[in-house]
A = this chain, B = another copy of it.
Amino acid sequence: MEHIFFPPLSRIAVCGGTHGNEMSGVYLVREWQKQKVDESGALSITTVLSNPPAVNVCRRYTQTDLNRCFTNALLSSPITDTTPYEMRRAQELNAQLGPKGSEKAMDLLIDIHNTTANMGLCLIFYSSDLMMLHIYKYIQSKMPSVPVRAIIMDIPLSEAFSLESVGKHGFAIEVGPQPNGVLRADIFNLVKKSLDLAFEWIQEFNSGCTFKAGEVEAFTFVKSVDYPRDPATGEITAAIHPQLQDADFKLLRRGDPIFLSFSGETVKYDGEDNYPYFVNECAYYESKTAFKLAEKTTMTFPSISVKN
């Protein structure tokens, strides 16, 4: 297998508060803004609180979901008086940290998220990014006591909608379970540790280490499953079944219970065997997603090192 050279990672952005009620990123970014000094001299670290008005009111967003606004189409659409705040803010962030797809973009953009689902620590990134597989493998190998997983989105970069797509490389850290508006020390420390490891990897990479070829397991999106709903009112009529609740990434088989209706009936799964994730994520009630399903795949990657 070929060996690949990448330019050094010099300009790094760490973002939090892209969703204003996901507290790990909000407090980590605030803490870094107080403390962080550039220890190596070679790295430039930019910390960004992505959506301050949403953070101030402790809501996911004020007018529309900021983390769906980073497609090429939305980033280039004209701003008018009626443009939602978050669409304007996305263009500001793109100017500051991108422009997406350009030479001026951050070398690496890390965006910190939380979920109410029992997902442990996940790295989410786009399929085209081999370097992320190396960072993922590194973090996973150094945190053996924690479930660390990769979720790979198979979307062309132009249609990639999330903030991390603005960097030349990027990933989201998605950690749970943590209620919105709540900060848990255990979750905070997981995120802090994974960030420290990412920066450790960056230092090693920039200093000339070769990272060997290898393979990792990763999850890729198959489909979303909605709650059962009353056809007349649209209201949900069942909750996630206790056997599926908190069982993110445990293989779901045909016949397994997935919902328990308010009147007590069990709804069983009748699809292909797949891995559920984002099970009972708070923010997905409005987007009609009770859980998502993924396939598990093995990704192989070539050895890489820095091109100076």
Contacts and interface: CB of A to CB of B under 8 A. Distances in A.
Interface of A: 27-28, 30-31, 35, 58, 116, 177, 179-186, 188-189, 235-236, 239-242, 245, 260, 262-263, 280, 282-283, 285
Contacts of A35: 263
A185 B244 CA distance: 10
Contacts of A183: 236, 239, 280
Contacts of A263: 31, 35
Contact of A282 (B28, B179, B189): B179
A246 to B, nearest CB: 9
A242 B180 contact: no
A182 B262 contact: no
Contact of A116 (B28, B182, B239, B280): B182
Nearest to A186: B242
A285 B177 CA distance: 19
A180 B27 CA distance: 20
Nearest to A243: B185
A89 to B, nearest CB: 21
Contacts of A31: 262-263
A184 B280 contact: yes
Contacts of A185: 239-242, 245, 260
13 contacts: A27-B262, A30-B235, A35-B263, A116-B181, A179-B182, A179-B282, A182-B282, A184-B240, A184-B245, A185-B242, A188-B239, A189-B242, A189-B260
